[in-house]
């Protein structure tokens, strides 16, 4: 039985990322730090897989992630090769992006969300070891990534490699997902959870406003503020997960939208920036400035409409990767829960599910939410 609350959080996070990249509104990173929440959800699901399958969970997770990337690469890599991308062995990184795969100028922006998949692969590969450490020393394992980010930002560890920066920034959220799967967050008493969450948000907010990053008050440009603020939000949204979730499925349209976004989360995430980039010239042609709410709303609608076309054309690849029956539009035949079971508490463990970046948009679209990159696809933040 799926955990519909986690489905809802993932759907909200994916929609928030797309809207952020169209509008460039920095406040959205404060209201809902979507990328950290997505890593936390992925960490919880990975822990569930490790519980059930052991180290074989790594292969299962890679099988679900990579086919959607390969479809994207099959379209964009030949186009980039025809428009100036050198054909080198590094192109093979598009098959397994443990490092940033190469891209030309336009491709680097349109394909910037690859940073998320790169980090995801790293975390999946280290998860068996991280899980082993977490179960033996949960608190030190959980605190370590945040301590690493603090050491980097305070100058105690200057100029670390990009991989170290990313582990410091997002592995903590992944570990909070482990804690959620183990039930640790739910068991935290209110007298501890709420003050801790408020303190993390307060310190993260204070650091963000007194030590603004590369994007002003946008959390994507301030790793320490991002990590702390996000940790506080994750503590609340996962630690106080509602016991009953029947309300999510009471409206058939809303329920199907949540299911659709979850079943096509990778497709939406990997393709949306290409459409944001393609529609950006409309700002000049039609005169839709980033301060024009009607113009922004139209661009958001157009991006989601184009995503709908891609979902119909290739979204079913996610079904095959998950070994489900392929569907053009998922979620159409959801069986209603029996009346006596409709309000049953959520099961403590969530079963496996699919997964699910930003430089400022308008007139240039926001690149995906993240940190820095060394070569290849730019880590334009998209949280």
For the chain, which residues score pLDDT lower than 50?
A: 335-367, 371-383
Q: Which two tokens stand for residue 41?
A: 């959800």
Per-residue model confidence as pLDDT tens digits over 37-63: 999 999 999 999 999 999 999 999 999
Provide the whole-model pTM.
0.86
Residue 362: what pLDDT? 40
Residue 216: what pLDDT? 82
């Amino acid at each position: 039985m799926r955990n519909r609350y986690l489905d809802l959080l993932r759907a909200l996070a994916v929609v928030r990322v797309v809207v952020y990249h169209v509008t460039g509104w920095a406040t959205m990173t404060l209201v809902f730090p979507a990328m950290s929440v997505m890593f936390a959800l992925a960490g919880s699901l990975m822990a569930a897989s490790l519980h059930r399958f052991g180290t074989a969970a790594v292969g299962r997770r890679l099988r679900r992630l990579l086919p959607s990337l390969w479809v994207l690469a099959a379209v964009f890599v030949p186009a980039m090769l025809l428009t100036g991308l050198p054909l080198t062995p590094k192109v093979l990184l598009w098959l397994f992006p443990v490092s940033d795969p190469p891209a030309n100028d336009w491709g680097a922006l349109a394909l910037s969300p690859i940073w998320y998949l790169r980090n995801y692969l790293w975390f999946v590969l280290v998860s068996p070891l991280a899980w082993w450490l977490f179960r033996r020393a949960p608190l030190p394992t959980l605190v370590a990534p945040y301590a690493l980010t603090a050491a980097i930002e305070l100058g105690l560890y200057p100029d670390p490699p990009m991989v170290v920066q990313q582990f410091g920034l997002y592995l903590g959220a992944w570990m909070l997902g482990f804690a959620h799967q183990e039930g640790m967050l739910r068991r935290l008493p209110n007298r501890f959870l709420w003050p801790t969450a408020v303190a993390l948000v307060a310190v993260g907010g204070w650091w963000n406003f007194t030590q603004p990053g590369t994007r002003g008050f946008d959390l994507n440009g301030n790793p320490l503020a991002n990590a702390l603020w996000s940790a506080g939000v994750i503590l609340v949204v996962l630690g106080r997960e509602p016991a009953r979730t029947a309300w999510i499925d009471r409206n058939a349209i809303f329920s199907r939208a949540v299911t659709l976004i979850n079943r096509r989360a990778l497709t939406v995430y990997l393709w949306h920036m290409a459409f944001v980039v393609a529609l950006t010239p409309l700002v000049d042609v039609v005169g839709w400035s980033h301060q024009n709410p009607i113009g922004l709303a139209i661009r958001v609608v157009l991006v989601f409409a184009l995503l709908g076309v891609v979902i119909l054309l290739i979204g079913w690849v996610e079904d095959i990767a998950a070994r489900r029956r392929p569907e053009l539009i998922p979620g159409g035949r959801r069986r209603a829960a029996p009346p006596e079971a409709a309000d049953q508490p959520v099961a403590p463990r969530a079963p496996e599910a699919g997964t699910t970046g930003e430089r400022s948009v308008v007139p240039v679209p926001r690149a995906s939410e993240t940190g820095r990159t060394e070569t290849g696809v730019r880590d334009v933040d998209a949280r």
